[in-house]
Structure 1
């Protein structure tokens, strides 16, 4: 009999009945969420039970058991069916035949199946050897056959789990940690794995296993709802993609959000992040409790021995029953940390005399003490504070402000303490504006954190820089607030300035400090953007920064905030090269604030090497190149080696059209990344020449591998200038040989004219998806527009290129307004093709 025949005769739904009923349930029914999962599990239970009944006629000592996710009744549309055919070691041929009658109909429908055939003894043995099998059996659920056989296995497995908990739970914790290391944290990922990432469905299942051990239990508040939310999202993901996937990809998030009736993909991600935070926090608390219990069990025999010895000593010394004065059993030792705050068993708890209802500063005092001690806040303490603490008055008392600064300045431990406060709603009670940035995703590959976590990470980074500034308190609070405007429409720096003024006033800063904090938030991007996108030799650039900052004290704070912000953003946001550019800008601004005038770039004297290259280029009539490694200044610590900043590429070439596209094209062909690019005409003494030489001073880095030799670069540059090297064809060949993977569709390029950015040139800004040859295409388009490029400032953030070009007319003057707008339009149209 074919497997199809078995299915049709046995299922009781009629031909194709289960498949049709399943499709109706998933696509036509009004149910969703837990009711649909329960209905799908019930439908599947009935179908499998009927298959079992038809195939097991006359066969005893056999049962069909659902395990794992199916055992829990968590069937998503494309979930695997986890099944165990349990038997008492009777007729092996009959059991094998029954297995075929069960498995083949499932496969015929295209359903994924995880199956096994075992006796109870084999199941227990396998569970003892494989932790994942044991976890699956903890959720065993009877479907059909011998109920006693299933019940016996479930009882034995639970007993084994509880007996082996001291050994198995550390293994489970290690398994969770390894998975988190591989998959990352669900609450921060733009394309999270709903099941495997930390805070996902696997961790929720692990918490159930811990509870089943009777050794510890997870905080229950919100945990069931968080698990349900992740399951709902997975259901929608399966329905929209038609695949058994747990990866919430960017291109599918809008469809999943629509399936769930949500406003947009950001709303979807925020709900996913909130659920993940609940599970992650519950995991942290639970595993701490597991560790404490296991540690107590390990030392208990030794303590009993010490207690007996102490009792004997007291009996001999004082007589009586040997109890300490006051009687009763000894309690865990407590160490005071701050007023109303003590340490007990590796956690920070409230002292017995603490009165949160009378002490509104106690939540911040407890948090600051915990962060400084590098200890977690106990769950009980946080919940008591959330339930009974009085709100702070406005403005805050000085102690509250000081405790907040202490918390922010405690370094890495701040993160865990802040998360504990946030889990119980204390952060939004202290800072209501926090709600708009909480769990807010950042759809930018440069950012690795949500907005709220990025703010805390910035404070952590800023705590390492407090020795560099005169007002560390302002630096730390500015770090906490610098992106607070991202929860509002429009420019987040502008919105953030308004919020920062209000928050700083409520916290209790005076008028002058409020003004400084507002300036820091408003201009927190100023130094990085100016240093990487503007000509630092242009006096207008330096003056504009000095006017925005206003004082050396504010500049000092802004410099530290810029570095902390970039370091907390992600690896792509900061480098020694960026740091060197920002430091150079700060030095120039300091001079202006001290009363010095910035030097005129037109009067700049070439270095000896630049002049030598220019003379050589004029003499030979062709390009001359020099490559030189650039490094940071030596560290004050002798053990620290200077870090490379890239390679300086100096090129001198007789003035002629097409220099920028030729040079940038050759560099692209050789896989060299351009970090900065400066071009200027150099006038040499009349006795030497009659005409100009273009001097290009660029910083480059190899995309991978080592740098090519200067001779090879020069040879290709000569060919590019005389037209014998077809750069577009070479770039096309390279792209064809190494095609790039298709990702999410990038936003269109944008080209704008920066008003009043320089009095010597017109500044055109280009924002586009970074790609090989991008600078070559831009240079060729500018060349066709008939403008001269005085300097270029190239910046790459993740997949985005943000470049600024200082251009002039052929006579060296800034472009008229209409001509500048026309050049920008042409350039944008070119990049859109």
Structure 2
């Protein structure tokens, strides 16, 4: 336990006792005396906390701070108790039935208190409550509460504690950490002995199973990944609660009071014990900083606090990494260490209590050990044959993961611990060992899910040492609101997506790539490129170009042919090109397809690029991939293939249009549409419409258009909540006219909706069929019935001219989601005439905010520009919007002065409202 130096600087117990005695001696009414005593305790608490904080901010030692906070509260509780017993409720001789013991439980019982943590107290009685108990307990609690402390409490006898602990896991856990604080020690000793003999001695396996199940449930609620970019320091995977769980298990099984005792007894290695202490101290420090920074019991490392946390923990910016990214990388590495320790402790728990399990699957331990590929298969898990196996045969570290994947078995945590201790044996010799590289490539390209093996290798520290370039992105975060996982976790998940495509698990979400992945000739190049596509992030410069250089160097070492190496390097260099063109360019424009084909050049590369693009996007986060993006990529792929094959591909564009129409025709006929109505509806859509949407969406559109035309409705607004994507689709059917898109965007901004995607369609009958994907200000689906009703009314009022958008939006501009204000995005406006023969293409990049799309499109309308198509993309806090426009005469904008005017006005529209107002005032 951390020693507390100069305790009297935190609280001088002798001086306080003397002052309390003076107050007690004064002839004061009881209420006034209590007020003075309370004021004294408040001062002591304030001064003590200030001293603890001063020391913490000076040294940044979380372990010291939580002990010192605990010491301060210990002394205050004891002083309050003594004042109550000695001065407020004096008794000459107390009976044994009036004995009372104050016991700290929970985290407070462990001797750990973060600055804003709750205090849990047990008032332990001999057998039943008497008036004296009630008086003292009430005085103590009200005094602590009035001091501003958050106190959880219970008043029980030892018998009640034991009875409740048998039926309640929370109480059992709290009592496990019980610590005598003050009062009758005999009562506490009796409780402790009964707890050990009546609870711990008979319920160890049940306790272990329950705590691990509790942990799994907690992980599931928190996202079940230690690599989410806004982690919970206490409850998240790899956080303090996981360490607490390990400590509880160890204490329950081995009756220890300190993790170091496990190492001293030879149960775990001293290195593992040091890692536990290191992880615990780091997490304590982070939590203390969080509490001081937010001035509340905050445990979430949200984006808005991460930069200041990095400053407070002294992580400076470096040329290739910001301080906040370096801090979060360290956090994730610590969380990974906690995961390693969790696996090791779980193995110990299983071996200590071998009985038929409910959750731990202990029965596998009784299976007879067998030899597999130079390892022992014991209890269904791979273990080493000798303690020094990895020291004498370093290749065995790679073979361990290869064998586990091949035989689909788990690796024993003790073997993983041996791996961790032998990581220094992964040197240049092993990296260049042909057998080691062969085993690695077989894992990377395995028909069995490579995600499993590579994640285990990564968490064990093997992957980063075997592929040092990968080691540089382990636990590396990207400080934005778009990427959900660290770079290494994203990469491993992308490989898992490739496996799912091959296994046919994504045929509904990604039908084309699920089919063509079986047609690629360069399968090994595809998997290597997926593994390397983000490997150069964080180095400065274009990570795609730098990553291609890594691929060229690494390919030969991994056994790739020259052709495979070149293909993988090209894929890494261009891995963003397909999504950029599909989402930011008009794929109905022939020049877009021609430029893309010139880049890709061959059908094989086109297939590889589609598969990698799908894997990359799906692995960004659970809500990033959607049917819309799938359709755009699929259409770009098919049109490029048409050109490459001279229009002879099996699914040429005209064929796809006819096939799409045929599917819809059949569906409409099933729903009783007359043939003439079907053909009239099919005539409304231009060819691009039929290849953009799938049959299900076309059916919804057909119904909407039919109902609107039947009553000649001037405006139809139809919402559809997509809970899977956390968005609401708003389809608007109305007469097309210049500025329509801008007006609808403005109405949505007034209604508090944030547009994250949009598709503009003009039908042959002159009607607009526009679809907008919207979310609320916190990034959730815009699904409140009241909000949707307000949105429909707002669109109608704007389009009818009964609402002034400029006035309505003025009050809303500048409001951002609470966590988004910390991100800075340099504004950029590009006006380019080369991507299209018939349109000028405008691309704007900037910081997202309510009303931004309206500001941009309204500026274009005021410039006399006609928006033919818009491609709206939102990447967290950053927007990348692309517009295909013509001038009032229907031509490209080619005059230099007009082009410069467009850039200047759009840059002004991108400015935050506050900055724009300041400039206007100047």
Matched, 1:473 2:524: yes
Write out per-residue CA displacement over residues 162-198 of structure 1, whole angstroms, 9 at most, x where no aligned residue.
3212222222222212222222347323332221222
Summarize the alignment of residues 91-102 of structure 1 with structure 2, pairs less than 5 Å apart.
92-102=130-140
- The size of the alignment, in residue pairs, is 757
Matched, 1:539 2:590: yes
Q: CA RMSD in A?
A: 4.4
| Partner residue of 2:866 out of 782, 788, 791 | 788
**For residues 668 and 27 of structure 1, do their structure 2 counterparts lie closer, same or farther at Cα, with a shift above 3 Å needed?**
closer
- Partners in 2 of 1:122 and 1:52 — Cα distance? 23
- For 1:744, the equivalent position in structure 2 comes to 820
Give the 3-state SS of the residue equivalent to 1:197 in structure 2: coil
Summarize the alignment of residues 67-466 of structure 1 with structure 2, pairs less than 5 Å apart.
67-89=105-127, 92-159=130-197, 160-185=199-224, 187-214=226-253, 220-263=273-316, 264-291=323-350, 294=353, 296=355, 332-337=367-372, 339-351=373-385, 355-357=389-391, 359-388=393-422, 389=425, 391=427, 393=429, 396=432, 399-409=435-445, 414-415=450-451, 417-466=453-502
- Partners in 2 of 1:221 and 1:415 — Cα distance? 30
- Partners in 2 of 1:433 and 1:4 — Cα distance? 70
Instruction: Work out whether residues 537 and 543 of structure 2, in 8 Å CA contact, stay in contact via their aligned partners in 1.
Output: yes
- Partners in 2 of 1:674 and 1:90 — Cα distance? 63
| Partner residue of 2:742 out of 649, 661, 681 | 661
- Partners in 1 of 2:32 and 2:541 — Cα distance? 61
- Partners in 1 of 2:406 and 2:32 — Cα distance? 68
Q: CA deviation at 1:213?
A: 2.3
| Partner residue of 1:804 out of 879, 882, 887 | 882
Give the 3-state SS of the residue equivalent to 1:86 in structure 2: strand
**For residues 411 and 14 of structure 1, do their structure 2 counterparts lie closer, same or farther at Cα, with a shift above 3 Å needed?**
same
- For 1:24, the equivalent position in structure 2 comes to 51
Give the 3-state SS of the residue equivalent to 2:148 in structure 1: coil
The TM-score with structure 2 as length reference comes to 0.72
Instruction: Work out whether residues 394 and 507 of structure 1, in 8 Å CA contact, stay in contact via their aligned partners in 2.
Output: no
Q: CA deviation at 1:158?
A: 3.0
- For 1:612, the equivalent position in structure 2 comes to none
- Partners in 2 of 1:663 and 1:110 — Cα distance? 51
- For 1:485, the equivalent position in structure 2 comes to 536
- Partners in 1 of 2:827 and 2:481 — Cα distance? 18
Matched, 1:728 2:791: no
**For residues 717 and 382 of structure 1, do their structure 2 counterparts lie closer, same or farther at Cα, with a shift above 3 Å needed?**
closer
Q: CA deviation at 1:364?
A: 2.4
Matched, 1:779 2:857: yes
The TM-score with structure 1 as length reference comes to 0.80
23-32 or 569-578, which moves further after superposition?
Answer: 23-32
- For 1:826, the equivalent position in structure 2 comes to 905
Q: CA deviation at 1:207?
A: 0.9
- Partners in 1 of 2:385 and 2:235 — Cα distance? 39
**For residues 249 and 406 of structure 1, do their structure 2 counterparts lie closer, same or farther at Cα, with a shift above 3 Å needed?**
same
- Partners in 2 of 1:669 and 1:10 — Cα distance? 52
Q: CA deviation at 1:110?
A: 0.6
- Partners in 1 of 2:297 and 2:131 — Cα distance? 33
Instruction: Work out whether residues 186 and 192 of structure 1, in 8 Å CA contact, stay in contact via their aligned partners in 2.
Output: no
Write out per-residue CA displacement over residues 585-633 of structure 1, whole angstroms, 9 at most, x where no aligned residue.
12222334446699xx9xxx99999xxxxxxxxxxxxxx9999997537
Instruction: Work out whether residues 227 and 485 of structure 2, in 8 Å CA contact, stay in contact via their aligned partners in 1.
Output: yes
Matched, 1:765 2:843: yes
- Partners in 1 of 2:330 and 2:32 — Cα distance? 43
Give the 3-state SS of the residue equivalent to 2:238 in structure 1: coil
Give the 3-state SS of the residue equivalent to 2:304 in structure 1: helix
Q: CA deviation at 1:290?
A: 3.3
538-547 or 697-706, which moves further after superposition?
Answer: 697-706
Q: CA deviation at 1:734?
A: 12
- Partners in 2 of 1:169 and 1:439 — Cα distance? 30
**For residues 659 and 556 of structure 1, do their structure 2 counterparts lie closer, same or farther at Cα, with a shift above 3 Å needed?**
same
Note the residue ranges of structure 2 that are not aligned, 5 or more in a row.
Answer: 1-28, 87-92, 255-261, 317-322, 503-516, 663-683, 697-721, 776-781, 786-790, 914-922
Note the residue ranges of structure 1 that are not aligned, 5 or more in a row.
Answer: 305-329, 610-623, 635-643, 683-692, 708-712
